[in-house]
Structure 1
Amino acid sequence: MFTVKRSGENRVDLEIHGKLDSDAMAQLLDHLLNASTGLHKGRLLYRLEAFDLPTLGAFAVELARLPQLFRLIQRFERCAVLTDTAWLRHASELEGALIPGLQVRAFRTDQEPQAEDWLNEA
C-alpha cells in the first residue's frame, strides 16, 4: 500500500507500507510522476513503514520504466527518508550518493522534525 501527495509548491510526500507487487509499483510510479509534474529542485519526504522488499514483478516494472525514473529523479534536489529499519537508512544514503544532483538523507521516524528542517533548508 502507498500514498503519494503533493504537499506544497515544491514538495511531494510518499509513504509505503508493506510489499509492492507489479500492479502496485506501476500505480505508484504513475502517481509519483503526476504528483511531481512541474517540480524543479523539488523536495521528497519518503516514509517507509513495515516495509517488505517488492516482488520480482515490481522490480521488473521499475526496470522497464528506467527512462521515466531518470527524468523523475531530476525533478528532485533533496529526499528525506524516514524509516526505523537501519539497513533501509543505509541503503537510501548509498543510493543517494550514486545519483548526481540528488541529496538523500535518512532519518528514524522519531526524527521527522529534523527531516522536515533539512528538507526546508535553502
Structure 2
Amino acid sequence: MLKITQNGPNRIDIDLNGQIDAVNMRVALDEIMALSEGMENGTMLYRIPEFTMPTLAAIGVEMTYLPRLFVLLGKFDRCAVLTDAAWLKKAAEIEGALIPGIDIKSFDLNEEEAAEKWLSDGD
C-alpha cells in the first residue's frame, strides 16, 4: 500500500506499507506530482512500517519518472523518514547526502513527534 496525502500547503505525507506494483507506483507518482504543483520549500514525512521491495515493473515505472522526480525533489527542503529498519534509515540518510538541496533525516517509527518538530523548525 502506498498512500499519499497533502498535509498543509507545503507538506506531503507518504505511507508505504508492503509491496508496490507498477500500477500503484504510477498512481502514487502521478499523485505526488499533482499535489506538489506550485510547492516551494516543501517538507515530506515518509512512514515505512513494513518495507517489501517493489516489483521489477514498479522500479521500471519509477525509472521512467526520473527526470520529473529530480524536478520534484527541488520543491522540497526536508524529508523525515520514519522506520524501524536500520538499513532503510541508513539508505535514506545516504540519499540525503547525495542529493543536493534536500535534508533527509531518519527517525524510529515511535519518534513521529521528533520528526514533526524537525520538519517544522529544523532542530
TM-score by length of 1: 0.97
The gaps in structure 1 that reach 5 residues or longer are none
SS at the partner of 1:8? coil
Match of residue 99 from structure 1? 99
Q: Does 1:109 align with 2:115?
A: no
CA displacement, residues 8-56 of structure 1 (integer Å, 9 cap, x when unaligned): 1211111111000111111110111111111101000001121101111
Aligned residue identity for 2:12: V
**1:84 corresponds to which residue?**
84
2:45 corresponding residue in structure 1:
45
Structure 2 spans left out of the alignment, 5+ residues: none
Whether 1:63 aligns to 2:63 is: yes
Superposition misfits of 4+ residues, deviation over 4 angstroms: none
The CA deviation at 1:101 is 0.1
Question: Scaled by the length of structure 2, what TM-score is found?
Answer: 0.96
Cross-structure match for 2:33: 33
CA RMSD of aligned residues (A): 0.9
